Amino acid sequence: MLLLQLDATGTDPLIALGVLVLSVLSVALSLTIAVVLVRGYRRGPSHRGMLWLAVGLIFLITIPELLRVGLPTATDIGAVGRSILVSGCELFGLGTILWIVCGGGIR
C-alpha cells in the first residue's frame, strides 16, 4: 500500500490538499468551457468572439491558477513577483472578455 505523505508549511496538510483539489477543479472547468467556446468558433467564421472569450477565460482562470501553484514550486520568485504576474494575467483576461462583450471583436 502506497501512503501519500503531505508536508504543508504553515497550515494543516488536509487544508493544503483541499486547496490544491479546488485549484485543479477550477483549471479543469475553465479548460472545459474554453474547449466548448473553441468548438463554437470552429463552426463558422461569424463566431470569432467565442475564440476571444476562450482566450480571456484562459487568462482569467487557467493561467493564474497554474502560476499560483507552479511559480513557488519551480522557481524562486517571491510573493510580490508572483502576485504581479497573476494579477497581470487576470487583468488581461478581464480586458479581453470586456472587449468582446462591448463588441470590439465582432465584425
Full-model pTM = 0.77
Handedness of CA 26, 5, 8, 68 (dihedral sign): negative
Q: How far is Cα 97 from Cα 90, in angstroms, rounded to an integer?
A: 11
Q: How confident is the model at residue 69 (pLDDT cuts 50, 70, 90)?
A: confident
Q: How far is Cα 57 from Cα 37, in angstroms, rounded to an integer?
A: 10
pLDDT of residue 98: 94
